[in-house]
Amino acid sequence: MAELERTREHAPAPSPAEWSYAPAPESREVVSLRERYGLYVGGEWLEPSSTYTTISPADESELAEVGEATPEEVDAAVRAARGAFENGWSALPGAERAKYLFRIARIIQERSRELAVLESLNGGKPIKESRDVDLPLSAAHFFYYAGWADKLEYAFPNRRPKPVGVAGQIIPWNFPLLMLAWKIAPALACGNTVVLKPAETTPLTALLFCDVLRQAELPPGVVNIVTGDGSTGAAIVKHEDVDKIAFTGSTEVGKAIQRELAGTGTKLTLELGGKAANIVFDDAALDQAVEGIVNGIYFNQGHVCCAGSRLLVQESIAEPLVAKLKRRLETLRVGDPLDKNTDVGAINSRMQLEKIEELVAAGREEGAEVYQPPCRLPEKGYWFAPTVFTNVAQSYRIAQEEIFGPVLSVLTFRTPDEALEKANNTMYGLSAGVWSEKGSRILWMAERLRAGVVWANTYNRFDPTSPFGGYKESGFGREGGRHGLEPYLAFDESEPWGG
Ligand code: NAI
Ligand code: MG
C-alpha cells in the first residue's frame, strides 16, 4: 500500500491521451467486394442498364458500382417473383419452407463477421453494434419465423391462412440487413415471394445476402433484390402485380405510398418516423437512466425511428441528471466505424448530415442551450458530435421534428399528468421509455402513452417475438411476433368453422 501511494505521489498525472484506447480496427479482409453488382432477379445476376457508386460514409471512399433498376427491370423482378410463387413455393408445405429459413439463419450466423464488417463499411455504424446487435437479431428473425412456417393454422385457428402473393418491400438505410430480415423472414414463412429494394446508400449487405440465398439453395425467384433510389421504390409500389407493400422510411414517402395505393386493394404496412419521449421520474435509478438515455439517442448515431430523442425529466432531478449525462458524453468515442472501441460512428450520408445540421441550427436560433463534449471529428466523411439541447420548449422544431441524428432535446415536467401530456403531444407514436422504481407508475404511464412500444427501465431493446409498430404518423401494421405474420396472409373466412 505504501509503495502504491509513493509511486502515485511521484508519478506525473496521466494526460487524457494516455488513458485513451489504442486503435483496435476490425479487419476489412473478411469482405471481398466485387467491382460491380447486378440486380438479383430469378436467382441470377441481371446486368443493370445503369449504375451508381456506393461509398463508405466514414471517408467517402468508393466501394462498388451497383445497379439502378428501371421500371422495366423492376417488372422483370416482379415476374420472377410471380413465377416462383406459382411454380411451387406457395404450395410447399410449411415445414419445407421452414427448412430454407433455418438454413438462411444458420448461414447468416456463420458469415456474421463478414456481414457485420460490410454493414459498418457501407453504412457507418460502429462495428460493435453491427456485430452485437444487427447480425444476431437478423439471424434471430429468420430462426423465429422459421418456427412459425408450419404452424400458421395454430397462429390463426379456423381462419384458413393463405399467402398473399408477391410482396414488394422497401427498406431504409439505418439497419439495412436487419430491416431486410424483418421483412423477408415473415414473408417467406407465410409462403409469399419477394421483391426487395434496399436504400440507395446501403445496398451492399442486401447484395451479399443474395449469396446467402444461393448457398441456402432457395429456389430461384423466391427472393429478388433490386437496387436503386426512390424511383425504383416507386416502380415497385406502382406495379400492378404486387399484392402487398411493406415500407419502412420517412413519413413523407409513407404518405405518398398510401395515396398511390388507395383503392387498389394492395395490402400495405408502413413503419415511419418517430419522436419518442424517454421519461425519467425522480425515483428512477439515475446512473442506469443515464445509460438508457445514451443508448436511446446515441445508438446508431441516432438513426433510429424509435430513438429516445426527447428526454422528459422530472424537474426536481433535472440538474443532477443532465450533469451526469454530460459527464457520460465525454466518454463516448466518436470515430472509425470499424474500430472495436467506437461508440458513435459516421452519419449515413451527406444528405442526412445536412438535415441534422439544419435542425441543430434551428435549435440554437430558437433559444435552446447546446452542449457537445469535446471530440475531434475526422476530416473526411460525414460526422456529427453527440449533442444535448437543454432549455427546450415544446414548440421548438427540435422538440417536434424527427432529427434522426445524435441529438437529444431535454424538456422537464412536474407531475405524471404533465409528463404524459408532453409525451403524447406529437404527431408520431412509435415508442416511449419510462424510468421509475414504482411498478404502478410504469403501468399507469404505459397504459396512457400513445406509442407502439413502451420500454420500462431500459431502451432500444428488440426481440423477434415482440411486435413493433406505430400509432398516428408513425404508421400502421406490426412487424415481429405473431402479429408480424398477419400482413403476409390472406384469410378465407367463408367457412369460419373450417367446413
Ligand atoms: P426515404 O423515406 O426517402 O427512404 C426510405 C426508402 O424509401 C429508401 O429505400 C428509398 O429509396 C425509398 N423511397 C424514397 N422515395 C420513394 C418513393 N417515392 N416510393 C417508394 N420508395 C421510395 O427516407 P430518406 O430520404 O432516406 O430519409 C429522410 C428522413 O426520413 C430521415 O431524415 C428520417 O427522419 C426519416 N427516416 C426514417 C426511417 C425509419 O426507420 N422510420 C428510416 C429512414 C429515414
Ligand atoms: Mg427521401
C-alpha cell recorded at residue 81:
417473383
pLDDT exceeds cutoff 80 at 5: no
Per-residue confidence (pLDDT) for residue 4, from 0 to 100: 46
Using pLDDT thresholds of 50, 70 and 90, give the confidence band for residue 139. Answer: very high
Q: What is the 3-state secondary structure (H, E, C) of 307-359?
A: CCCEEEEEHHHHHHHHHHHHHHHCCCCECCCCECCCCECCCCCHHHHHHHHHH
Q: pTM value?
A: 0.95
Q: Is the CB of 302 under 6 A from ligand 1?
A: no
pLDDT of residue 15: 57
Nearest ligand 1 atom, CA 352: 32
For ligand 1, whether the C-beta of 227 sits within 6 Å is no
Over 80: is that where the pLDDT of 279 sits? yes
| pLDDT recorded at residue 18 | 57
pLDDT tens-digit map of 336-346: 999 999 999 99
**How does residue 21 score in pLDDT terms, banded at 50, 70 and 90?**
confident
Residue-level pLDDT at 218 = 98
For 350-378, give one letter per residue: b (16+ CB within 10 A) or e.
eebbebbeebbeebeebebeebebeeeee
Alpha-carbon distances of 97 from 78, 89, 90, 319, 362, rounded to whole Å: 20, 8, 9, 55, 51
Is 426 close to ligand 1, i.e. is its CB under 6 Å away?
no
The predicted pLDDT at position 12 comes to: 55
123 and 176 Cβ atoms separated by less than 8 Å: yes
Lowest mean pLDDT of 15-19, 251-255, 304-308, 341-345, name the range: 15-19
Measured by CA distance, the residue closest to atom 38 of ligand 1 is 249
325-337 pLDDT tens trace: 999 999 999 999 9
Q: How far apart are CA 151 and CA 157, in angstroms?
A: 10
Catalytic residue among 305, 401, 402, 473: 305
What is the predicted pLDDT for the residue at 499? 41
Give per-residue pLDDT as tens, 219-237. Answer: 999 999 999 999 999 999 9
Mutate to test the pocket of ligand 1, among 52, 250, 259 (most ligand atoms within 8 A of CB): 250
Residues of the chain above pLDDT 70, percent:
95
Phi, psi dihedrals of residue 194, rounded to the nearest 5° = -135, 140
Cβ-based neighbour number of residue 255 at 10 Å: 14
The CA 380 to ligand 1 mean position distance, Å, reads: 25
Given the residues 26, 68, 129, 271, the one annotated as active site: 271
Cα–ligand 1 centroid distance for 249 (angstroms): 4
Query: Using CA positions, which residue lies closest to atom 15 of ligand 1?
Result: 230
Predicted local distance difference test score (pLDDT) of residue 270: 98
Does the beta carbon of 199 lie inside 6 Å of ligand 1? yes
Bridge pairing between strands 387-390 and 369-371: antiparallel
Which residues fall within 8 angstroms of residue 8, CB to CB, at 6 or more apart? none
- For residue 16, the model assigns a pLDDT of 57
CA of 355 to the centre of ligand 2 (A): 11
Q: What is the largest CA-CA distance in the chain?
A: 88
* 256 Cβ closer than 6 Å to some ligand 1 atom: yes
Q: Which three cell numbers stand for residue 17?
A: 491521451
